[in-house]
Amino acid sequence: MEKVTISLGSRSYTIVISSGLCNDISFWPLISGDRVMIVTNETLSSMYLGKILTLMKKSKIKVDYVILPDGEKYKNIKTVDRIIGSLLQKSHGRDTILIAFGGGVIGDITGFAAAIYQRGIRFIQIPTSLLAQVDSSVGGKTGVNHILGKNMIGAFYQPTSVIVDTDFLCSLPAREFSSGLAEIIKYGIALDSSFFQWIEQNLDLLMVLEKHALVYCIRKCCELKASLVSNDEHDIGYRSLLNLGHTFGHAIEAFMGYGKWLHGEAISVGIVMAVRIAERFVQFKSEHSNRIINLLQRANLPIQGPTEMTANNYLSYMIRDKKTVSNQLRLVIPLSIGVSEIRDNIPNQLIIDAISEC
């Protein structure tokens, strides 16, 4: 079992990483008599919900649940209202604990509902997808999408705990697993060249779900994110380095319709676009570009954007990105593998050229 601490004073919490954690809820921060509501989706409920309910009832935990439709297209205010309606109908108060049992969509929606229900209740993240285990369940970013932009409605709201059980990855579709690999590769490019090299050397082990490699990889990603979140909780400084490729990727997701491109697929293309800008803007070495593109392709991720999108389509969404200041795009640009920075002085034509090349 591995543990990573997010240090935020009185709001600090622990990420626990191992296999089999959902077979024994003694590892969960719950005690007899607690009242919880599990939020999950239709796919996961049919596979796991009955077992979890049985374990909770044996531990004398009072449990309700709400089952949501599965998919990014349901990550919206209407779905949050459904969670809040269930809480109210079943007379849940401020002592209730929400449990987000699912991937990034469930985690983001549940966290946002926890942030706004009766001005804030506790919630626990139990991420079941690779993307959620290495990234979205950690750091307190919660929210939903708007038709004009991804994650435009939300709050920074930290969980009380994150329980990462690698066993859930055994039932994850291959495309979803590759989507999570994009975020893992992002960490190496943006923050840690040694980790990038480790991914290159161990990608084949990850893709066959070798447990030691998975646990190490998840822990490393959580440690990298923890170091940034602890010093920049609200994403106004260096935490933004974790958004490498995201400004482009979010544009793809919004334009194409949420769920048609998986998040990691869109981020993969966004990373390549950021690399193409870096080649022109900061003399990013072509040998580094080739390593990145090769690794993304080995992970079964796309490196070219949707044929339906023009550069203007991208820009119309990108200008609404949360990192934009005074209508000036701010992009994360790699300087070398493992080193990146935020730039707001990139000529528009460079951005257009990079988009057009992909």
- The domains of the chain are located at 2-171, 191-357
pLDDT value for 322? 65
| Alpha-carbon gap, residue 205 to 177, rounded angstroms | 13
For residue 212, say whether it is annotated as part of any ligand binding site: no
**Candidates 3.90.180.10, 1.10.1760.20, 3.30.420.40, 3.40.50.1970; CATH matching 2-171:** 3.40.50.1970
For residue 282, say whether it is annotated as part of any ligand binding site: no
For residue 250, say whether it is annotated as part of any ligand binding site: no
For residue 129, say whether it is annotated as part of any ligand binding site: yes
pLDDT value for 27? 81
Question: Which residue blocks in 46-122 are alpha helix, DSSP H?
Answer: 50-58, 77-89, 104-116
For residue 263, say whether it is annotated as part of any ligand binding site: yes
For residue 183, say whether it is annotated as part of any ligand binding site: yes
pLDDT value for 237? 85
For residue 150, say whether it is annotated as part of any ligand binding site: yes
For residue 84, say whether it is annotated as part of any ligand binding site: no
For residue 246, say whether it is annotated as part of any ligand binding site: yes
Which residues, other chains included, contact 131 with Cβ-Cβ below 8 Å and sequence gap of 6+?
A: 103, 104, 176, 179, 180, 182, 183, 263, 264
| Alpha-carbon gap, residue 183 to 243, rounded angstroms | 10
For residue 105, say whether it is annotated as part of any ligand binding site: yes
Grouped pLDDT means (10 residues each) for the chain, 358 residues: 94 94 86 96 95 93 96 95 97 97 97 98 97 95 92 95 96 97 98 98 97 97 95 88 96 94 97 97 94 98 97 92 72 96 92 94
**Which of 57, 39, 218 is CA-nearest to residue 130?**
218
| Alpha-carbon gap, residue 105 to 245, rounded angstroms | 19
**Which of 63, 69, 26, 74 is CA-nearest to residue 46?**
69
For residue 74, say whether it is annotated as part of any ligand binding site: yes
pLDDT value for 329? 87
Per-position b or e across 10-44, b if 16+ CB within 10 A of its CB: eeebebbbbbebbeebebbbbeeebbbbbbbbebb
- Phi, psi (5° rounding) for residue 279? -60, -40
For residue 43, say whether it is annotated as part of any ligand binding site: no
For residue 204, say whether it is annotated as part of any ligand binding site: no
Angle between helices 311-318 and 246-256 (to 10 degrees): 110
pLDDT value for 325? 63
| Rounded (5°) CA angle 260-106-248 | 40
For residue 75, say whether it is annotated as part of any ligand binding site: yes
| Alpha-carbon gap, residue 30 to 125, rounded angstroms | 13
- Give the CATH fold of the 191-357 domain: Dehydroquinate synthase-like, alpha domain (1.20.1090)
**Which of 165, 163, 123 is CA-nearest to residue 140?**
123
SS3 state at 165:
strand
